[in-house]
Chain A
C-alpha cells in the first residue's frame, strides 16, 4: 500500500530511475543485571528508504535519498519525494546504472525471535560461574529483519533473516579487588555451545587479569592475536580491496596487486561468500539488488577481485559485483602450535584495538596479555601496542585452524611481528 503510494508520487514527478526499500525490524530485547531482568523490550519499526536519480547534462547522474515513516500523510510523502527529486538535481556524480539483472527471491525464512531469545537466556543461565568469577550483566538483542527492495529496472526481492547480538560483562575478584572484561558477540541465531565456551574462556581470562604485572618495556616484539580483535586485522585487507577505497585513491589493491612485496610470512587468501552459516548477514542479495556470488578477493597475497557498491564498481569497470557481507580467510601453512613457537606477547584484552582502514595504523592499550619469553609465561597489563600494517603484513603468520566471528572466518591465531610495545615497568 505504502510502496504503491510512494511509486505513484515518484511517477507523478516524471522520475524514471529510482530505488525503494521497505525494511521491517521486529526485535526482542532483554537486559540483565547478574541474572535478574532489568528490562525487557519489544521493537516493531518499519521504514521506507527512497533514492531518486536524474540524468544531468554532460553525462552526470544526480541522486538523493530520504526516509519515509509509515505514518506519513499523503502530503508528507509528496513533499518528501519532491524534495528528494529536487536535491538529486544538485548532486553531480559520474553516471552509472542501477542493477538490472533479475534476482531469484529466496524462500522467506521463518525467524522465531522468542525461541532464539530463549536460547540466549538459557545459555547464559547455564554458564559455569564460580564464587570468584561470574557474570556481571548481559544484554540480549534478537531481530527479525525483512527487507523488500525494488528498483525502476524491475529488480525486486524480499529477504528475511535473523540478526542477534549479546553484550556480556564478566567479573573476577579477590577479597579486596574486582575486575571486569567485556565481550560483544554478533550472530544470526544463538549458538549456545560456542557462546558458553567463549564466555567460560573469558572468565578464565578475568581470573588471570587479577594477577597481572606491569607490561615491561619490550621495544619491538611479536604480538599474537587469538580473539575477535584479529577481525580488525583482516577487515583491513577486505577494505583495501573495496571499489570505494580504490576509487577514492585510498587503496591501489586492484587485480594483480601484491598486498605485500617480498612477503616472507604467510600469504593471505580471502574470499567473499554468498552464504555463511549463522552470520548476522546471511542473505543472498545485497542492498542494491545484486545477487551475491562467491568471489576470490585475494589469492596467496595477490589481489584478484574487488567488490563494493554498484556506483564505485561501475566506475572501475566492474559490472558483475556486489556488496560483500560474509568473508572467509583461509588458514595458513602452520598449525596454531607452530605459530605459537618462540617469544611473543599474546594480547587477549585491549581497551579498544584499532587498525585504521585508511592509514593502516595499529593501536591498542593492553588490558590483559600473556608474555611468552624465554620459556616462561607472565601475565601482563598496561602499556600499548602500536604498529603499521604495511610493515607488518610481509612477515605476518597465521594458523591453519580457523574460527568464525559472526560474518567472517579468520585464522585462529595471527602473529604480527616487530610491533612497538610501550611498557610501563
Chain B
C-alpha cells in the first residue's frame, strides 16, 4: 500500500502558498516547509512499560525561510491563524526586531545569493505494508512483552530485557514560488537490549536492532534479535580488558558503518567547508584511502530509516560517491552551503524538526563491498581483533582523528579465533591511516539505521550507515 500523504497538509497548502506570496512582496526568496508526522514509541521491560504517540520524529509545524539583501532568516511556528495576512505581518514584525538588534550591535551579514528555485512539482507516496497509526498496539505490546520474557529466560544473568519499537509516518510539504513538493513515507526501528552483572559486579550490556524504510512489519525481526542476545551477553560477561596497542582489525558491517559515518561522513559535510572547519576541502581529488575504499552517501543509497525523496530544503535526494577507490571526490551539501561554495546541493539539508535549522547532514553512509570472504580475512590476521557492536563514535573533521567505542573485540591469532573476547574497546586513530590500511573487504554488505546522529553535541537526526567486513589496522585501548 501507499503511505498516504497528510490530509492536514493538503488542507494547509493553499494558506502556505498565500503566505509565500505575501512575504514574497518583501523578501527576495521565500519557502515554507510544513510537516505532519505521526507515529508511536513503545518500550517494554520487566521493570517498566511505556507507550506513547510521540517519538523523535513525530511533529506538526512549519518553518518559513526568507532572504533579503543576502541575509537568510527563518521563522518556525505551529499555530496557524485564520487570516494568513496576520501571520505574514507577525513574521515580518518579529524578524524586524532581530534586524534591529543586528543594527544595534553593528552585526554584518554573511552575504549569500538567492537560492535556486527552478520549477518543480512532485508528489510521492512510498510503499509500506502497514502504517504506524493503524498498528494494532495491543498485539504489538503483547508481542514485545512476550519477547522481554523470552529474553529473561535465555539471557544469562539478565537483570532486565528491554524491547523498544518506534515507527513514524512522515509527511512533508515544501512550497516556494516555483516549487510544490509533497512526500510521505514510513520508517520503523526496533531493538532489544539487556544488561547483566559480571563476576566483579560490573554491569555489562548487549543490544541489537532492526530498522528500515517500511512499516511496523519489520518489528517481526525482533524475535530473531532476542535469540542472538544470549551469546552476545555470554561473551561480554566473560570478556577481558584489551592490552592497549596497534592491531590488525576486521570490522563487522556495523563498525564499518560507524567508521564511514565518523570518518568521511562528518568530514565532508560541506557546511563545514564554508566555515573552513573541514580538512576534506583541501583533499578533493587526493588519496585518502586504499584502492578498496569506495564510499557512497545519499538518501537514495538504501531503503533505510532516512530514505526520503526530497530534503528539508526542497532539494531532491541523491547518491554521491564521496570516495572512489581511495580518492576523495566530493562532499555532501545543503542548499545554502552549496550556494556559498558555488556547487550543487546534494539533497542533504536536514533538520532535527521543523523548528530547527537545516544543516548539511548525513543520510545513508556506506562503504562498497569487495571480493573477499570473511573466512579469508580471518585467515590473514596474524594477531588482531574482529570488532562488533557499536556503542558510540566521535568525529574530528578538522584533524581527521576518530574515536569509536565498540562493544566487543574477538581475538584472532594466526588466522584463528582464540575464543578470547575483549570489552569495551576504544578505537582511535588518524582517518587516512585507517582507510589507507584497508586491505580486504567482504562481498556482503549491510546497512543499519538504529542510530541517531548529532552535529557537534546537538541537532539529532536519523541516519543509517554500513558496509562490508573490512580489514585494516587501528589503535585499540
Instruction: Please give the residue numbers on chain A whose beta carbons come within 8 Å of chain B beta carbons, in ascending order.
Output: 25, 27-47, 63-67, 69-72, 80, 83-84, 86-88, 90-93, 114, 117-118, 121-122, 125, 136-137, 165, 167, 169, 178-180, 182, 184, 217, 247-250, 311-312, 351-352, 354, 358-361, 363-365, 367, 382-384, 386, 388, 390, 420, 422, 424
CA distance A99 to B314 in the complex (A): 46
B58 touches A (CB below 8 Å):
yes
B contact residues around A42 at 8 Å (CB): 73-76, 91, 94-95, 98
CB-defined A-B contacts under 8 Å, sample of 21: A35-B108, A40-B99, A41-B357, A63-B50, A66-B52, A88-B51, A93-B48, A118-B105, A125-B106, A136-B277, A137-B277, A178-B276, A179-B398, A179-B399, A351-B402, A352-B392, A352-B403, A365-B394, A365-B428, A367-B396, A386-B477
A contact residues around B60 at 8 Å (CB): 69, 71-72
Question: Which of chain A's residues has its CB closest to B158's CB?
Answer: A249
Distance from A311 Cβ to chain B, minimum over Cβ atoms (Å): 8
B202 touches A (CB below 8 Å):
yes
Q: Which of B91, B102, B201, B402 contacts A390 (CB 8 A)?
A: B201
B contact residues around A364 at 8 Å (CB): 403
CA distance A236 to B428 in the complex (A): 24
Main secondary structure of the interface of B (DSSP, over half): mixed
CA distance A141 to B159 in the complex (A): 41
Q: Which of A43, A46, A121, A351 contacts B394 (CB 8 A)?
A: A351
Q: Is B275 a contact of A43 with CB atoms below 8 Å?
A: no
B54 touches A (CB below 8 Å):
yes
Q: Is A422 a contact of B275 with CB atoms below 8 Å?
A: no
CB-CB under 8 A for A84 and B475, given A37-B102, A69-B60, A358-B195: no
B25 touches A (CB below 8 Å):
no
Instruction: Please give the residue numbers on chain B whose beta carbons come within 8 Å of chain A beta carbons, in ascending order.
Output: 8, 45, 47-54, 58, 60-61, 71-80, 91, 94-95, 97-99, 101-102, 104-110, 137-138, 141-142, 159-160, 195, 201-205, 244-245, 274-277, 336, 355, 357, 392, 394-396, 398-399, 401-403, 405, 424, 426, 428, 456-458, 475-477
Q: Is B204 a contact of A118 with CB atoms below 8 Å?
A: no
Q: Is A359 a contact of B477 with CB atoms below 8 Å?
A: no
Q: Is A422 a contact of B392 with CB atoms below 8 Å?
A: no
Distance from B408 Cβ to chain A, minimum over Cβ atoms (Å): 13
A contact residues around B80 at 8 Å (CB): 71
> Among the interface residues A34, A65, A363, A383, which one has the most CB atoms of the partner chain B within 10 A?
A363
Question: Which of chain A's residues has its CB closest to B99's CB?
Answer: A40
Question: Which of chain A's residues has its CB closest to B202's CB?
Answer: A359
CA distance A139 to B475 in the complex (A): 34
B contact residues around A28 at 8 Å (CB): 98
Q: Is B403 a contact of A248 with CB atoms below 8 Å?
A: no
Q: Is B105 a contact of A121 with CB atoms below 8 Å?
A: yes
Distance from A89 Cβ to chain B, minimum over Cβ atoms (Å): 8
Q: Is B159 a contact of A248 with CB atoms below 8 Å?
A: yes
Distance from A198 Cβ to chain B, minimum over Cβ atoms (Å): 16
CA distance A167 to B457 in the complex (A): 9
Q: Is B357 a contact of A363 with CB atoms below 8 Å?
A: no
B contact residues around A121 at 8 Å (CB): 101, 105, 107
A contact residues around B205 at 8 Å (CB): 358-359
Q: Is B204 a contact of A359 with CB atoms below 8 Å?
A: yes
CA distance A352 to B262 in the complex (A): 12
Q: Is A71 a contact of B424 with CB atoms below 8 Å?
A: no
CB-CB under 8 A for A39 and B394, given A33-B110, A91-B49, A351-B403: no
Q: Is A45 a contact of B78 with CB atoms below 8 Å?
A: yes
Q: Is B95 a contact of A65 with CB atoms below 8 Å?
A: no
Q: Is B424 a contact of A363 with CB atoms below 8 Å?
A: yes
A contact residues around B202 at 8 Å (CB): 359-360, 388, 390
CA distance A67 to B58 in the complex (A): 9
Given contacts A28-B98, A359-B204, A360-B203, 14 further A-B contacts (CB under 8 A): A40-B95, A42-B75, A44-B75, A65-B51, A67-B54, A69-B78, A71-B60, A84-B53, A87-B53, A92-B49, A167-B458, A358-B195, A384-B426, A390-B202
CA distance A29 to B458 in the complex (A): 14
CB-CB under 8 A for A64 and B78, given A114-B101, A249-B160: no
Q: Is A361 a contact of B78 with CB atoms below 8 Å?
A: no
B contact residues around A363 at 8 Å (CB): 405, 424, 426
CA distance A354 to B406 in the complex (A): 13
Question: Which of chain A's residues has its CB closest to B455's CB?
Answer: A167
Q: Is B137 a contact of A87 with CB atoms below 8 Å?
A: yes
B contact residues around A422 at 8 Å (CB): 244-245, 426, 428, 475-477
Q: Is A359 a contact of B357 with CB atoms below 8 Å?
A: no
CB-CB under 8 A for A83 and B244, given A38-B110, A363-B405, A364-B403: no
CA distance A349 to B415 in the complex (A): 38
CB-CB under 8 A for A90 and B61, given A41-B75, A122-B105: no
Q: Is A383 a contact of B274 with CB atoms below 8 Å?
A: no
CA distance A251 to B399 in the complex (A): 39
Question: Which of chain B's residues has its CB closest to A125's CB?
Answer: B105
Q: Which of B45, B91, B110 contacts A36 (CB 8 A)?
A: B110
CB-CB under 8 A for A40 and B73, given A64-B52, A71-B78, A359-B205: yes
Q: Is A64 a contact of B426 with CB atoms below 8 Å?
A: no
Q: Is A33 a contact of B357 with CB atoms below 8 Å?
A: no
Question: Which of chain B's residues has its CB closest to A424's CB?
Answer: B475
Q: Is A180 a contact of B394 with CB atoms below 8 Å?
A: no
CA distance A395 to B204 in the complex (A): 24
Q: Is A40 a contact of B52 with CB atoms below 8 Å?
A: no
Distance from A193 Cβ to chain B, minimum over Cβ atoms (Å): 18
Q: Is A46 a contact of B159 with CB atoms below 8 Å?
A: no
Distance from A18 Cβ to chain B, minimum over Cβ atoms (Å): 15
CA distance A315 to B466 in the complex (A): 42
Q: Is A182 a contact of B74 with CB atoms below 8 Å?
A: no
B contact residues around A83 at 8 Å (CB): 53
CA distance A39 to B47 in the complex (A): 46
Distance from B213 Cβ to chain A, minimum over Cβ atoms (Å): 24
7 closest A-B pairs by beta carbon, nearest first, are: A422-B477, A66-B53, A352-B394, A422-B244, A365-B403, A36-B110, A69-B60
Q: Which of B53, B106, B456 contacts A182 (CB 8 A)?
A: B456
CA distance A39 to B358 in the complex (A): 11
Q: Is A359 a contact of B73 with CB atoms below 8 Å?
A: no
CB-CB under 8 A for A365 and B401, given A46-B79, A422-B426: yes
Q: Is A90 a contact of B141 with CB atoms below 8 Å?
A: yes
CA distance A212 to B75 in the complex (A): 44
> Among the interface residues A184, A249, A358, A382, which one has the most CB atoms of the partner chain B within 10 A?
A249
Distance from B369 Cβ to chain A, minimum over Cβ atoms (Å): 29
CB-CB under 8 A for A39 and B105, given A92-B49, A180-B398, A363-B424: no
Q: Is B52 a contact of A358 with CB atoms below 8 Å?
A: no
Distance from A173 Cβ to chain B, minimum over Cβ atoms (Å): 10
CA distance A383 to B48 in the complex (A): 40
Question: Which of chain A's residues has its CB closest to B98's CB?
Answer: A40
Question: Which of chain A's residues has its CB closest to B77's CB?
Answer: A44
